[in-house]
Amino acid sequence: MKTSTPFLPYLSGRLFGRPPRSARSILEAEAERIRQASLGKLTVLFGNYIRKPLLDPVDIGTGSRQRHFSIRTTFWAFMAQVLTPDGSCREALRKLQAWQAAMGLPLSDSSTSGYCQARSRLSATTLREIHESVAKEVARKSIAPKAEYGRPVKVVDGTGLSMSDTHENQKIWPQTKTQKPGCGFPSVKLVGLFSLANGILIDWVEGNKHDPEGTLFRRLWHQLKSGDILLEDRAFGAYASMATLFQRGIDTVTRLHQRRPADFRKGKRLGRHDRLVEWTKPKQPTPGWTKAEWAVLPQTLVVRLVEIKVHQPGFRVQKYVLVTTLIDPAKWSVEMLGQMYFKRWSIELFFRDIKITMGMDVLRCKTPSMVRKEIIMHAIAYNCIRGLMQHAAALYDVPLDHLSFKGTTDTLRQWADAFHIHTGKPRKQSEMLTSLLHVIAEDAVPYRPGRSEPRARKRRPKNYILLNKPRHLMVAPSHRNRG
């Protein structure tokens, strides 16, 4: 009696003992091929954005062994996790087990320990390289028009993220002193640099509450190129920053800092409330600058002050003053500068997409190293979704800024099962991808310019008492005054 069944190769070893060596090697190679393919939906959609060698096994060191959780499998499972509303390790593992069952592979252990250990083995350096690969590839395929300003426009801003209250996290990112010990959460300060045209997150840096945003931003200057225009709020518009960037061929548009007077009686008049003025380098270095760095700055800098009036109802201010190194009024009119700076608000929407829609506002990991990896994975997933939106906009000739990021994310999640059904059928998956892009393109955001959206909640939160001491010391009263 033969010990193999040609029509049921995966059952031969289970029913008739151990298969011959040649058959066993074929089965192992096939299982490894399926295992390396990982979660089919994400690899079909985003695999082209990532250079293949970055997820290949290495010869020596971490990632060289043939583990149940390979580098490729762990990465895509981690990606699926940050794209899931719940975002728990248990749900990510269950998703992986469902995929393994569908592919005929042995199921992973139901404990999340193995998956968490596999995540910790992922190299932060490799993840950073993957992020750079995705950002460059999405930017290379960008369809955003460059003729609007004739130059690339980038926008920078800072935000804050909360995380698990562990001793390791508190040591790196301590909570504010106003919070009682055991009642607050560590908070990381994030400064991000985005492309205004397509919303790509180019790069970011992390810091704690003691790090000024302007100082953190200096670590992103290598991402700026000569000819760029930088939009920023007044927290970044210091003399040293504007002068240094101007020397590198980078122009700045920012709000005038509240400590600087807006005197339109001085300087050269270019128009009504439009002046060229000369700034003098402060005598004392800005915090974060050494004396040697301060000494090489120019003694003066010619900038342009422009007053912008806001006529749309619902805005908190009726006018504000811009300061910029774009000093040619013939090329850069007051109206154009006002419209450009108005678009700086887009970075608030970009941060909302990555923090609220994708759930990065509250990070789950317990250690600083894993917190940093979690941030990188959110950035990779965010840029991949931006690339998907860009693909849909190009294919169906829809303005990119009219597409919904949340709608794209929801659509991507709900189409997972359809891609799983057609695993191993490239032609059918290609048809599914076209249909997916069509659905994304149809889900356009209504055009509502100047809409007033106050930051206020209508639905009240539950009437729970506040935690004002460590949880293990907190005793909830038996009766609460609900009046």
Domains of the chain, by residue range, sit at: 1-30, 38-122, 145-357
The model's confidence at residue 2, banded by pLDDT at 50, 70 and 90, is very low
Reported as a single tens digit per residue, the pLDDT across 12-24 is 333 334 444 454 4
Of 232 and 457, the one with more pLDDT: 232
- CATH class as words, domain 145-357: alpha beta
CA nearest neighbour of 239 among 158, 294, 308, 320: 294
Identity of the highest mean pLDDT range in 4-8, 11-15, 233-237, 257-261 = 233-237
Confidence class for position 284, pLDDT limits 50, 70, 90: confident
Q: Does residue 268 register a pLDDT over 50? A: yes
For residue 374, count CB atoms less than 10 angstroms from its CB and return exposed for 0-12, middle for 13-18, buried for 19 or more: buried
What pLDDT, on the 0 to 100 scale, is given for residue 30?
Answer: 43
Average pLDDT over residues 404-409: 92
Question: Which pLDDT band, with edges at 50, 70 and 90, does 329 fall under?
Answer: very high
What is the reported pLDDT for 144?
64
Pairing of the two strands 274-280 and 229-232: unpaired
Q: Please tell me the distance from the alpha carbon of residue 180 to that of residue 196, in angstroms, as a whole number.
A: 40
Residue 339 has pLDDT above 60, yes or no: yes
Burial of 392 (0-12, 13-18, 19+ CB in 10 A): buried
Q: Above 70 in pLDDT, residue 147?
A: no
Residue 275, beta-bridge partner list: 269, 305
For the record, the structure tokens of 126 come out as 């490799």
| Structure token pair of residue 305 | 């002050």
Nearest to 204 by CA among 407, 72, 408, 350: 350
Q: Who has greater pLDDT, 448 or 460?
A: 460
Which of left, alpha, beta for 297 (phi over 0: left; psi -120 to 50: alpha)? beta
Count the helices and strands in the chain (H runs, E runs): 17, 9
pLDDT for res 12 = 34
User: For tokens 């006002």, what's the residue?
Assistant: 338
The span from the CA of 111 to the CA of 432, in Å, is 33
pLDDT (tens digit per residue) in 73-129: 888 889 888 988 878 888 888 888 887 787 777 888 888 898 899 999 999 999 999
Residue 314 is predicted with a pLDDT of 61
Query: Which of 333, 337, 339 minimizes the C-alpha distance to 312?
Result: 339
pLDDT at residue 41 in the model: 64
Q: Which of 31-40, 113-122, 209-218 bottoms out in mean pLDDT, i.e. has the lowest?
A: 31-40
Which two tokens mark 236?
């970044």
Summarize the confidence of residues 68-75 as an average pLDDT: 82
- Place 449 in a pLDDT band, splitting at 50, 70 and 90: low
Tell me the pTM: 0.85
> Band of the pLDDT at 33, cuts 50, 70, 90?
very low
Kind plus residue range of the DSSP H or E element containing 29 = helix 21-37
Task: Determine what percent of the chain is predicted with pLDDT higher than 70.
Answer: 83
What is the model's pLDDT at position 451? 67
**DSSP string for residues in 275-342:** EEEEEE--SSPPTT--HHHHHTS-SEEEEEEEEEE--STT-S-SEEEEEES---TTTS-HHHHHHHHH
Is a pLDDT exceeding 60 seen at residue 398?
A: yes
**pLDDT the model gives residue 107:** 82
As a whole number of Å, the end-to-end CA separation of the chain is 82
Average pLDDT over residues 349-364: 93
Burial class from Cβ neighbours inside 10 Å (0-12, 13-18, 19+) for residue 380 reads buried
Looking at residue 3, its pLDDT comes to: 38
Is the pLDDT reported for residue 229 higher than 50?
Answer: yes
Mean pLDDT for the chain overall: 82
Confidence check: pLDDT of 454 > 80 = no
Bridge partners (DSSP) of residue 303 are: 277
Calpha distance 62→288 (Å, rounded): 37
Q: How far apart are CA 26 and CA 23, in angstroms?
A: 5
For the segment 181-190, the average pLDDT, to the nearest whole number, is: 89
Please enumerate in sequence order all residues whose Cβ is within 8 A of that of 374, keeping only pairs 6 or more positions apart, or say none: 82, 360, 363, 364, 365
HSE of 404 in the Cβ direction (CA atoms, 13 Å)? Answer: 16
